[in-house]
Amino acid sequence: MELQTTIYLVVGLSFALYIGIAIWARAGTTSEFYVAGSGVNPIMNGMATAADWMSAASFISMAGLISNMGYGGGLFLMGWTGGYVLLAMLLAPYLRKFGKFTVPQFIGDRFYSKSASTVAVLCLLTASITYIIGQMTGVGVAFSRFLGVSSDVGIYVGMGIVFMYAVFGGMKGITYTQVAQYIVLILAYTIPAVFISLQLTGNPVPQLGLGSDLVGHDVSLLSKLDQVVTDLGFGKYTTTTAGSTLNMFVYTMSLMIGTAGLPHVIMRFFTVPKVSDARLSAGWALIFIAILYTTAPAVAAMAKTNLIRTVTPGVVMQDSDPFAADAAIQYEQRPDWMKRWEKTGLLKFQDKNGDGRIQYYNDKTKNEEVLKKAEAAGWKGNELDVNADIIVLANPEIALLPNWVIALVAAGGLAAALSTAAGLLMAISSAVSHDLIKGVFKPDISEKGELMAGKISMAVAIVISGWLGLNPPGFAAGTVALAFGIAASSLFPAIMMGIFSKKMNKEGAMAGMLAGLFVTLFYVFAHKGLFFVKGTEYLDLIGGANSFFGITPEAFGAIGALVNFAVAFLVDKVTKEPPEHIQAMVESVRIPRGSKAVEGSH
């Protein structure tokens, strides 16, 4: 069957499955709409959580980032998986024991203030809307390449699909749809990895293939990749770091506590029947996520190897000189996969020296020997620009895998983006309808009215997120990291203090959230050029690029979290402590049932 027909068939079947599940699992009550009636099995909830979590960033971008960054890209693996350990141990069971629908509702009740709940809604909306831009962009990328339509049309189709199962099904529909989406995306990620691992190393397990010898060579894949990339003037693949060691540490921490503070992930733990199920859910989610996350480094290294082998034939497998006259392929002889991806604008060739060859060398190499060889070969700068977002999606095409595998990857990429978009939209909808409309503006609203408000909020959120995907703001390139930074600097400290500090009061919590949010946005927006001060360079406002100890804006969420904690405790010291019944409630939530440390009922 022709490739395009196969893609249409596989993607169409996956969409039909999602819509069918949504019709079957329609939400009829507010409990079903917000938390799926709190009746989801822990294993299924773990699978749904994994799908909710493994967004377009995890499926489409992460391996591409690792492929480009090498060893330094490991911070994404450490941060995101480490965040789940935090979530399982420190947050999920206690939040489930508290028994509320949403994060702002927990903060509002714990800090005995509608104002605190409103501040939490502000932080939640800022993080969720920022994050969803990346999901809609991912939908556009996948559609534009695989369905032969423009990125804009792809976003419109994605909006329609999410509308069908999110608005009508609510959390109940989203949960069961995400179980199906997890199965689709994990098969789409691992099957090509198995094929490519077999091709390159003869080992069917990608995680083991990463350390295995190349077929026909007495050298490991990683050792060969190190040699090839350094020959081309790039940094050594297995030792390159993301900036300074301090920046790598802070970046990892920002992703880690951002993971534990993301509201759309936390909401999943309100959907299980018991407190113990919340911890089980987190454990299962970690297992399901680990399948993809342990595969990602292998996918990244193998994709990098295949890309170099395509552009510079013989360098990987035959040890030929990358600067020889016939080392780089002629542009006119480029493979079909490059022609297809050029149409998306995510792969570009610029013939800087006019020789018709694709010369893929590092523009900024500090290796003088490499530089001399490149210049002798007529090099005038790297001529191939490969967007990190195409590495996973293009990998099966680069490796000449069967059409059905390429079609499965298309369906997987869309499943990853749509599943997370749905979770984010659910968090936004519940924050508006449950926390603002019912919690602040109209407490006496009927259940039917609240359900309708939730569906309308969801529909409006879909329209807004679609518009942002079609017209991404100037900071769109860092949206995913920024979303984690916002959650890390605003919500995570408030949740932690709400559970573990019975003396923390409402004034401290609100001041901390606002301070953490403001300082993070200020640092990020100064770098992204979103301040317009006449006669002032944006970075002058903060003393230059990465002026705070060399920390990049994407990593600044952890610093914002420290500001949040510091401000909260300072304000708490000079204001009145919480009422006795709030302190007793905090102890009852935190201390296991049956403990003699707490008197009275729970």
Task: Name, of 111-120, 428-437, 442-451, 518-527, the range with top average pLDDT.
Answer: 111-120
pLDDT confidence bin for 418, thresholds 50/70/90: confident
SS (H, E, C) 323-388: CCCCCCCEHHHCCHHHHHHHCCCCEEECCCCCCCECCCCCCCCCCHHHHHHHHHCCCCCCCEEECH
Residue 379, classified by CB atoms within 10 Å of its CB into exposed (0-12), middle (13-18) or buried (19+), is buried
Share of the chain above pLDDT 90, in %: 10
Structure-token pair, residue 163: 């509308």
Task: Name, of 143-147, 381-385, 591-595, the range with top average pLDDT.
Answer: 381-385
Helix axes 391-398, 403-430, angle to 10 degrees: 170
- One DSSP character per residue, 60-123 reads IIHHHHHHHHGGGGHHHHHHHHHHHHHIIIIIHHHHHHHT-SSHHHHHHHHTT-HHHHHHHHHH
Structure-token pair, residue 453: 């408000």
pLDDT digits (tens, 9 = 90+) for 119-131: 998 888 888 888 8
Instruction: Give the pLDDT confidence score for residue 516 in this predicted structure.
Output: 94
Q: For 525-530, what is the mean pLDDT? A: 65
Task: Name, of 368-372, 514-518, 520-524, the range with top average pLDDT.
Answer: 514-518
First CA to last CA across the chain, in angstroms? 62
Contact 19, 162 (CB under 8 A): no
Q: What are phi and psi of 345, to 5 degrees?
A: 80, 0
Residue 540 has pLDDT above 60, yes or no: no
pLDDT digits (tens, 9 = 90+) for 52-85: 777 777 777 788 788 877 777 888 888 888 887 7
Instruction: Give the pLDDT confidence score for residue 595 in this predicted structure.
Output: 42
The pTM assigned to this predicted structure is 0.79
**In 3-state terms, what secondary structure has residue 443?**
coil
pLDDT digits (tens, 9 = 90+) for 215-274: 877 888 888 888 888 877 777 788 776 667 888 889 889 989 988 887 777 777 777 777
Query: Could you give the domains of the chain?
Result: 3-304+398-471+479-590 (1.20.1730.10)
Instruction: Give the pLDDT confidence score for residue 492 in this predicted structure.
Output: 92
Residue 598 has pLDDT above 50, yes or no: no
- The CA distance from 447 to 463, in Å, is 24
Q: How far is CA 149 from the centre of its chain?
A: 25
Residue 99 has pLDDT above 90, yes or no: no
pLDDT confidence bin for 367, thresholds 50/70/90: low
- The CA distance from 228 to 219, in Å, is 12
SS (H, E, C) 527-591: HHCCCCCCCCCHHHHHCCCCCCCCCCHHHCHHHHHHHHHHHHHHHHHCCCCCCHHHHHHHHHHHC
Structure-token pair, residue 234: 């790039």
Q: List, in order, residues 6 or more apart from 534 with CB less than 8 Å away.
A: none
pLDDT digits (tens, 9 = 90+) for 288-326: 888 988 898 898 888 888 888 887 776 666 666 666 666
Q: What are phi and psi of 24, to 5 degrees?
A: -70, -35
Instruction: Give the pLDDT confidence score for residue 594 in this predicted structure.
Output: 45
Q: For 464-489, what is the mean pLDDT? A: 72
- The CA distance from 92 to 489, in Å, is 19
Pairing of strands 384-386, 347-349: antiparallel
pLDDT digits (tens, 9 = 90+) for 258-279: 888 877 777 777 777 777 777 7
**For all residues of the chain together, what is the average pLDDT?**
79
Residue type for 337, please?
Answer: W
Look at residues 297, 245, 241 and name the one whose alpha carbon lies nearest to residue 67. 297
- The CA distance from 367 to 129, in Å, is 43
